[in-house]
Structure 1
Amino acid sequence: MLHELGVATTLWDTTPLAQVARHWAHLRYCATLTSKKGRLALSKHAGSAVYHHKVTQSEQLGIGLALVVAKTLLRRQHPGWDFHAVDAEVTLKAGFLDGVGEVNTASQTKMRPDYILMGHHSSGRRSQVRIVVLECKGTHQSPQFASEQLARAAVQVNALRVGGHRQSSLMVASYLARRGITSYVLDPPSDDELWSGADDELDDLVGGSPKDQNWHPQPEPDDDAATWDTPAAATTPVEDAAVAGHEDLPRERPKVLDVPAEQRGWFTQILTRAAAATALLFAGNNAAARAYTTPRQRGERPAPETLFELESPWALSTARTLPLRDGLRAEGTHHRAPMPGGRTLEVFRGVDAGLYRHLAEGRVGAYLRNAPRAARRWSAAARRDDGVVSVGRDGTILVVRLSNDRS
């Protein structure tokens, strides 16, 4: 769960402390979870968080849990497919920057989804791409409050369409409690593919740089619009400290971000290249990741400030090699933190070395096709004395271990 959270919240910037910040998602919540009678539950440390920290905690854990649940469900529904989490805001900036606005307290901008799960499947000669829009929620309050969150999520996932059509979506709201964690899911049916073609066609498509677009969000169509009544606040007793408020539904018609049907190939470019950039940033290679972004995603137009303002030494990759047993090698970043008793907590985050080379050299199609095979190799060979090793089917690797090495 912490692995998924770390990949999904990888910062798209190159500030001097970006690498430390990227490790924080793993370190901050290492002590928040435990097991109660075979169920994942909040630890006593998580339960003692005060109001404003609890809001952040539920949001962050809600993202990690939603990604684990969503990917598990999608693998069951679509055998042979692998899904990559792409931040929806990063993606939408490629085509809707001038009109979409930043997410803030304005109700129109808050009605957008969190992530787009980009699914890829290859038969060996032919590739298919589909998307699933994901909204992540988390609460410490009650199961009833989680259901209110799902009502709001149903509006948010509908904000993104392709060719006027709603896309497949998943809404996951996790109720976080000391006695156990429960995730509630809404999964309206849909089975549209975004793109399909020969493997070499995909290679040519994602190898090219997508052009900037200039689209604007539109009001939800009349036949989809509804009058939303704000639900009453949850009445179920709150476990531990209460978090006030409830999930307000919009009273005005939500805005819809609609990618034209003829731009499905462009959208496929945007999503696959964003997934590649995220993996490289996770491994610490900012310079290579920059090549996968559009000028608008970098913020070069209309604002002068950029997401990838590269100045020495931050223009260079900070990735290093981590060798493990059985020939396993990964490229990534290594963070060490002192612990009581003279021990050291080590966190390594990176990408399988072979996949890293594909990404660094611009071979996104090869990365997508080979990631599942690399993940299986890591899962089979990683050993307990290597530490806690989490392997993503996107080829990303997270290793957490305690050592007595004080050097």
Structure 2
Amino acid sequence: MGKKASAVLRDLVQPWSVALHSNSGLAGSVAEVSAADDKERRAKNSEPLRRKPGLRAVPVADRGQSIRLTPWKLLHTLGRANVLARQGAGRGLAEHWASLKYCQALSGNHGSFMTLSEEGRNPIRHYKAVQSAELGVGFALVVAQEVLRRRYPDHSVSVVDAEIALRAGWTLTGKEHAAHRASKRPHFLLEVWKPGAPSKVVLVACKGTHSKPARVHAQLSTAAVHVEALHIGRPGEVPAMVFGTELPGTDPITLHLLEAPGDGTLHLPAGAGDVDLDSPPEDRAVVPGIDLAWGTGEKPRTVSGYHVRPEDHGWFRRVLAHADAAGLAAFTGGGEPTARYLSKRQGKRHFEQYTHAGTGIVQDVAYSVHGVPCVGTDHVFRLNGTRVEAFSGVAQDLFDDLAAGRVEDYRHKAHALRTTWPEEQWDTEWNGPVSVNPDGSVLAIRVL
């Protein structure tokens, strides 16, 4: 028999430490793996892969030696990241509920470090490759956001699914222009923003493994390929972070991370007016390919990938803001509010179409979390035989702006409130774990 549901819920708000590994030795090991792969490819008369150059350690001052977090905060981060992924088999099912399958996967050891629980180590319950990949996303995004908030304390940080953003400008599949498409792309774009200022974009690639550090080095080498596929402004100047999460059975979970420096600011061309974030970004048909000599006056050198040029920076800022708004709306279960922020190529129809009542998600529930009125949707399932209710939503005041298409108003309010949300992760009135993110999104769970 598993634990009682009430005990499982208490475990979800137990904070544990996750070790962070980022130093010159790690950067050197990844460089060695990349050099060996290049040599092997040349021996086979194949072109070496293009990787983000200059990967280096993230300074301790920006990350600490470890990060302390609860499993519930991790699942909230993972759910927000996956909400627009559309990877599930059931059309209309909320993607973010998939994170709840890890409710009992994480625990801790006597040294206060987070580990996989006995259930988390059971390959029958969780296919290892899927588990390591998905949990790797959660750990990576928690740390990436923490690093950027330390560096830019007066900014907000939004996580945008890179696939969703890129679809607004490029056709990512098919035969036309296939030679200049990149099959490996960043997994997420982190937008660092504040009202009235140009956004900064940081590319993120996340990997995970149950194997040894040598496997992590190979994964980080591959992650460097993912983040090299998108350039913003002058080629080579967009910053990136790559992550490899090591999930070694009963030993502590360790997150390995490196970064490549850069600017990544979406500066507007001289004379351009302010960007109206309420205006939906149009779909564009940009030909894929990156001209590495762009802006130098030299002969063009086009390679595979995607390039956001300065004349497109205003448009891309709207793409990011609307993709972020779509993710928040989807987290509440709102099909129509989500669809208004997506184009046809980004998956608007997925949220417009009628779905069966048993699988559809509808924004139809209102609760208060730590006294904050919230709007969202709920999901009921059994946890060790006990019925539990999970709720996902957004603070009511912010949701009203999102539902009405007021992206500018939402961003001004969310930015002002980002440091004021309750941090306590157990709400006695709700009687269960709650997590409130700086963007105003809420994830809560309790025994029904």
- TM-score, normalization: structure 1? 0.79
How far off is 1:179 after superposition? 1.2
Distance 1:26 1:192 in 2: 31
Report if the CA contact (8 A) 1:118-1:131 is conserved: yes
Q: Which residue of 2 aligns with 1:211?
A: 282
Report if the CA contact (8 A) 1:129-1:196 is conserved: no
Cα distance 1:32–1:108, how it changes in 2: closer, same or farther (>3 A)? farther
5+ long unaligned stretches in structure 2: 1-73, 295-301
Q: Which residue of 2 aligns with 1:247?
A: none
Q: Which residue of 2 aligns with 1:116?
A: 189
Distance 1:100 1:151 in 2: 24
Q: Which residue of 1 aligns with 2:28?
A: none
The correspondence of residues 117-132 of structure 1 with structure 2, limited to 5 A, is 117-122=190-195, 126-132=196-202
Report if the CA contact (8 A) 2:155-2:415 is conserved: no
Q: Which residue of 1 aligns with 2:99?
A: 26
Q: Which residue of 1 aligns with 2:438?
A: 393
Distance 1:221 1:286 in 2: 40
Distance 2:354 2:441 in 1: 26
How far off is 1:101 after superposition? 5.0
Report if the CA contact (8 A) 1:389-1:398 is conserved: yes
The correspondence of residues 303-314 of structure 1 with structure 2, limited to 5 A, is 306-311=349-354
1:171 equivalenced with 2:242 (yes/no): yes
Q: Secondary structure at the match of 2:131?
A: helix
How far off is 1:17 after superposition? 4.9
The correspondence of residues 77-226 of structure 1 with structure 2, limited to 5 A, is 77-97=151-171, 100-101=173-174, 109-122=182-195, 126-166=196-236, 167-177=238-248, 178-195=250-267, 205-218=276-289, 221=292
Q: Which residue of 2 aligns with 1:65?
A: 139
Distance 1:268 1:340 in 2: 45
How far off is 1:155 after superposition? 1.6
Amino acid at match of 2:382: P
How far off is 1:206 after superposition? 1.1
Amino acid at match of 1:288: P
How far off is 1:371 after superposition? 1.7
How far off is 1:317 after superposition? 7.3
5+ long unaligned stretches in structure 1: 224-252, 300-305
Cα distance 1:121–1:196, how it changes in 2: closer, same or farther (>3 A)? farther
Distance 2:376 2:321 in 1: 20
Q: Which residue of 2 aligns with 1:249?
A: none
Cα distance 1:35–1:18, how it changes in 2: closer, same or farther (>3 A)? farther
1:353 is matched with which residue: 390, 396, 408?
Answer: 396
Amino acid at match of 2:129: V
Q: Which residue of 2 aligns with 1:5?
A: 78
1:371 equivalenced with 2:414 (yes/no): yes
Cα distance 1:400–1:196, how it changes in 2: closer, same or farther (>3 A)? farther
Distance 1:348 1:55 in 2: 28
Report if the CA contact (8 A) 2:181-2:305 is conserved: no
Q: Which residue of 2 aligns with 1:337?
A: 381
Amino acid at match of 2:390: V
Distance 2:82 2:306 in 1: 22
Report if the CA contact (8 A) 1:169-1:188 is conserved: yes
Distance 2:90 2:157 in 1: 29
The correspondence of residues 170-319 of structure 1 with structure 2, limited to 5 A, is 170-177=241-248, 178-195=250-267, 205-218=276-289, 221=292, 255-298=304-347, 306-311=349-354, 318-319=362-363
Q: Secondary structure at the match of 2:119?
A: helix
Amino acid at match of 1:210: P
Q: Secondary structure at the match of 1:397?
A: strand
How far off is 1:153 after superposition? 1.1
Cα distance 1:100–1:265, how it changes in 2: closer, same or farther (>3 A)? farther
Aligned length: 356
The correspondence of residues 37-56 of structure 1 with structure 2, limited to 5 A, is 37-49=111-123, 53-56=127-130
Q: Deviations over 1:59-117 (max 9, x none)?
A: 100111110010011111111222111111111111111x5559xxx996432110111
Distance 1:52 1:335 in 2: 21
